[in-house]
Structure 1
């Protein structure tokens, strides 16, 4: 694609310096919304960061608000299982950017391409992601776009276990907020992991149980190796999410304990009132122990049970 004036690729050439602090070293990846670059810190030798730049072609009022909200929410929550945000600002040409901690690993989506996860690994990821979501829910924030692509896996400090990081709070719903216009009929999220109330555009009914559904869909896929709801088109997937019974997890992963399969299916109930009341209850039902309480609690990994 030809370079455009003020495009992220042109604004952030290798070697360019942002805010007299970050030296761009290369492109990590790009998509329809923008690009992510790796950069080094000018005054902290050896410190690397990731810089996400919003493409000006999509920088309308709602997109800008979501982009800024993503930075503000991650910074506000300050949770060990949510990607850390170091800064939010604008380039000289007005292009907004977010500075994140640099994560070295792979997304859960990439990991799932190699097949289902081992039981202990899946349970550890469930606890960590559940802890991140519970912290968000305590602050009145619903993620609304939890999916394997938005869960990043890095090596934990012990060098053995996996640490999960939740990404992208850009379309999250803040209780009582009017910062971002609510689109009554717009589909915000990813259909395969989207609760029926969200898939049908009933955004006024979106709450923590909407994330319970998404987490249930992620857990289903970690054990089964395939998504719970599949289809060749978005309408087909949405129809299955809203109307069709969830395919039996016990048949997809026959070795799972019955309480796990039953718990996942309850999380995927069509009516939010039939799901687990909150993420913590869901996680405890599957793993046998409650999540640590507190805004900045450390989540136990595999070794801690």
Structure 2
């Protein structure tokens, strides 16, 4: 589509992206002088009558739902060349997919998104419409914190014509319900499963089911249990963990019977105070008071929102390497297995301390951890550290290890130039009481930076 071209009353401004059911552009409404989004059916599908009908159904389904958390549909029209397009409201913000890739969600923020998303689905289900393609890429979070549910391209009127026949597995595999993966008939509980997957991902920072290819992923959805979410997020309230688990029951009869009941449980959730209950994982696995104190301190840091989070798009992949940019890699943890979660926790804690020290800018911890997990890198291999740092544009990186013995912590850190992974620029080692974890980290960073 040529930029500047006039389609009806809409002047094309910019291409925003492409999805399975359309290409999206921003445009200026020349009559009402406003910015809108135009979604066109892909040209190669223009002769596919089923695709056209599904595209029209998307517009009708979404336009019938007048709700603050559902994308507003202004119009549906056709170009002189026979291309169908939907005119939608344009929102300033980012998709939830983008935000999940660039930041870690506080529990309160995840619950806020979940409540708004849940209300959107509740309204759709009341109208007899299921989304069937619920995923972070179809959820917009505006700059004002408003959630907008997009793309009813796979929506189906539960009482109307089924345009995606039984046996089809349209949708994104990671968010599919078991019945959807099997190609079976679906109802609103399919959206409840996908809602649970999205909520799990916001809270745990990873998807509940993973696989190297679609068939392996679908096998996991059908046959495996997700890792307990309280192991991914130690400060997780028990009731919230139970809510996520209930959404992800493979037998749909064991899930919530509707969004209203689910929202009732979500609305009852409150973020626990930093001094509140010890998390379920600590109760189950940790008996020594000193380890409980570390869990409590780390949980307090997370809940208070102090853990470093970058909102500047820190994934510098493709940018030139800068000596002022530094990457912190997960620490190797030795001693108590109950402290294993602190390996990645050190990425957050030390990045927070390094960011803004002199001219240093620390990379977003989520970008670092995501790259390591995605490529299956060994954090104990110097070459792997160099590879991570270089890919993200960091000229230096920090590695280290944490040892706990008899209630005391010993932290060792190495500062290394990305171009010389086998010759550390500096080393620091500090020791202190486990309950003084943050003071120990302060001393470590001070020593590592040379005073």
**Into which bin does the TM-score normalised by the smaller protein fall?**
0.7 to 0.9
Q: Give yes or no for contact 2:104–2:205 (8 Å, CA) kept in 1.
A: yes
Indicate yes or no: 2:164 matched with 1:175. Answer: no
Quote how far apart the aligned CAs of 1:184 are.
Answer: 2.0
Indicate yes or no: 2:180 matched with 1:198. Answer: yes
> Structure 2: how far apart are the matches of 1:276 and 1:32?
29
> Structure 2: how far apart are the matches of 1:33 and 1:173?
14
Q: Quick one: which of 219, 224, 227 aligns to 1:239?
A: 219
Question: SS in structure 2 opposite 1:113?
Answer: helix
Quote how far apart the aligned CAs of 1:170 are.
Answer: 1.1
Quote how far apart the aligned CAs of 1:134 are.
Answer: 0.4
> Structure 2: how far apart are the matches of 1:268 and 1:30?
29
Match of 2:86 in 1: 98
Question: SS in structure 2 opposite 1:77?
Answer: coil
> Structure 2: how far apart are the matches of 1:26 and 1:142?
31
> Structure 2: how far apart are the matches of 1:235 and 1:77?
35
Match of 2:41 in 1: 54
Indicate yes or no: 2:214 matched with 1:214. Answer: no
RMSD, matched Cα: 1.4
Structure 1 segments of 4+ aligned residues over 6 angstroms from their partners = none
> Structure 1: how far apart are the matches of 2:253 and 2:139?
26
Indicate yes or no: 2:4 matched with 1:15. Answer: yes
Match of 2:12 in 1: 24
> Structure 2: how far apart are the matches of 1:32 and 1:273?
30
Answer 1 or 2: higher relative contact order, Cα 8 Å, separation at least 6: 1
> Structure 1: how far apart are the matches of 2:157 and 2:12?
33
Q: Give yes or no for contact 2:174–2:209 (8 Å, CA) kept in 1.
A: yes
Q: Give yes or no for contact 1:89–1:97 (8 Å, CA) kept in 2.
A: yes
Q: How does 1:153-302 map to 2 (within 5 A)?
A: 153-156=141-144, 162-178=145-161, 180-203=162-185, 206-288=186-268
Deviations 1:260-286 (A, max 9, x none): 001100110000000011112112213
Q: Give yes or no for contact 2:75–2:87 (8 Å, CA) kept in 1.
A: yes
How many residues were matched structurally? 268
Q: Give yes or no for contact 1:259–1:286 (8 Å, CA) kept in 2.
A: no
Question: SS in structure 2 opposite 1:64?
Answer: helix
CA 1:87–1:111 in structure 2 vs 1: closer, same or farther (change >3 Å)? Answer: same
Q: Quick one: which of 71, 79, 85 aligns to 2:59?
A: 71
TM (norm. structure 2) is 0.58
Q: Give yes or no for contact 2:156–2:163 (8 Å, CA) kept in 1.
A: no
> Structure 1: how far apart are the matches of 2:97 and 2:36?
22
Quote how far apart the aligned CAs of 1:115 are.
Answer: 3.6
Question: SS in structure 1 opposite 2:105?
Answer: coil
Question: SS in structure 1 opposite 2:31?
Answer: coil
Deviations 1:209-252 (A, max 9, x none): 11111101100000001101111110111111111112110101
Quote how far apart the aligned CAs of 1:56 are.
Answer: 2.2
Q: Name stretches of at least 5 consecutive residues in structure 2 with no aligned partner.
A: 270-451
TM (norm. structure 1) is 0.85
Q: Give yes or no for contact 1:86–1:99 (8 Å, CA) kept in 2.
A: yes
Q: Which one has a bigger Cα radius of gyration?
A: 2
Q: Give yes or no for contact 2:94–2:141 (8 Å, CA) kept in 1.
A: yes
Quote how far apart the aligned CAs of 1:76 are.
Answer: 0.3
Match of 2:25 in 1: 37
> Structure 2: how far apart are the matches of 1:118 and 1:183?
40
